[in-house]
Amino acid sequence: MASNEAKKDKKNSDLLPRVIVAVVGIPVLLSAAFLGPNWVLWLCVLLTATIGAWACLRMTLQRDFRLDGVVGVLSVSLMLSALYWLDTPLAIAGTLFGVTVAIFGATLVSLRNVEESARRLGAVFSGLVYITVMFGGYTYLIKATPRGAVAEFQAGWFLFPMFVVWAGDTGAYFVGRAFGKRKLAPRVSPGKSWEGAIGGLAASVLGAFVASWILPLPAIPAWLVVTMAVPAAVLGQMGDLCESLIKRATGFKDSSKILYGHGGMLDRVDALMFASPWILIARELWLPL
In DSSP terms, which residues pair with 183 in a beta bridge? 193
The set of residues, in sequence order, having a beta carbon less than 8 Å from that of 207 and lying 6+ positions away, is 163, 164, 165, 166, 167, 168, 229
Residues 279 and 141 sit within 8 Å (Cβ to Cβ): yes
Q: Is position 102 within any domain?
A: no
The reply to whether 230 falls in a domain is yes
Classify residue 61 by its DSSP letter: T
Whole-prediction pTM value? 0.88
pLDDT of residue 13: 46
Predicted local confidence at residue 22, as pLDDT: 63
Q: What is the rounded CA–CA span in Å between residue 47 and residue 123?
A: 21
- 72 located within any domain: no
Indicate the number of domains in the chain: 1
How far apart, in Å, are the Cα atoms of 34 and each of 21, 153, 276? 20, 9, 19
- In this prediction, the residues of the chain whose per-residue pLDDT falls under 50 are 1-13, 148-149, 261-262
Q: For position 7, what pLDDT does the model report? A: 45
CA atoms of 207 and 4, how far apart (whole Å): 34
Residue 119 in any domain: the answer is no
In a domain, 73, yes or no: no
The distance of Cα 103 from the centroid of its chain, to the nearest Å, equals: 23
Whether 249 maps to a domain, the answer reads: yes
Q: What is the pLDDT of residue 29?
A: 85
pLDDT reported for residue 267 = 86
Dihedrals φ, ψ of 10, to 5°?
-65, -45
Q: Is 154 exposed, middle or buried (0-12, 13-18, 19+ CB in 10 A)?
A: buried
3-class DSSP state of 142: helix
Cβ neighbours, 10 Å, residue 24: 9
pLDDT at 230: 97
